[in-house]
Amino acid sequence: MRSATVYALTVAMAFAVLVGNGTIAGANGFQVELVHPQSDSQGHYVGFPQVNNATVFGTLAPAGKVKAVTVDDQAAQLFPGQLAPFGAAADTPCLEFRATVELGPKSKIAIAIQGADGGTTRITLEPNADAVVQALRDAVRERPDSARDRCRLGGALRDSGKLEEAVDEFRESLKQNMSCVNTRVSLGIALVQLGRAEDALKEFAVATDTVPDYAMAWLNLGLVHARFTRNTGEAVRCFKRYLELEPNSSIADKIGRYIESHQ
């Protein structure tokens, strides 16, 4: 069981650190925001320095018009969205989508949205980290009080490896909107990447208290306990809550194996 457990945690951590923020504009009535890898509104995203199996995470609206989503021909899982995507009204019902694909430094990302009417909207993004970061820096300069723009910039900086700057932007965003659980989870992930697990633990704990049904907060909280504090009891508790919220997750079987091996 040891090898299965290590594999489960490795895959889960790769999945969990993909929560962040980004934007792309959709077409044919759809608005799409690519959350990770971070994107802008001009069809660019923060590319990876080497080939990775990555879970692309995004949000789109309006939810009622979406039948299915694919990313690079891989079927995406759909969940109720926590944040309206770029260009959509704040109260627009939206969906989150997640799909694991192989990305490299020059990979394009092709997103296809099948509408409830049978039509398909296709969006293609190209890697350009500098363009994304610059566009979001400009947005923050224009709207310094926008918590959402600061969170997006934090995501771009984190994906670009500028972790300290990312932490600063996430904290500024939370000063303007303390209740945004997505931002708090993104901050926690950046802190984990900086090796500040105890600080990250606090952020994930606040996130689960603020929005008890936000699955990714529970997943990340469990991962910190499993990998850093070695508190397997707390890790199991968090992972069980995650599976209650997302029983059909693509990593549900791996998380389940960890739970079985530590009870």
Task: Kindly report, residue by residue over 210-243, the tens digit of the pLDDT.
Answer: 999 999 999 999 999 999 999 999 999 999 999 9
Residue type, 56: V
The predicted-structure confidence for 131-153, as pLDDT tens digits, reads as follows: 999 999 999 999 999 998 999 99
Burial class (CB in 10 A: 0-12, 13-18, 19+), 230: exposed
> Could you tell me the strand order of the sheet in which 31-36 lies?
31-36, 52-61, 95-103, 77-80
Q: Which domains can be identified in the chain, with CATH numbers?
A: 20-128 (2.60.40), 130-261 (1.25.40.10)
- Let me know: does 216 contact 185? Beta carbons within 8 Å: yes
Confidence of residue 11 (pLDDT cuts 50, 70, 90): very low
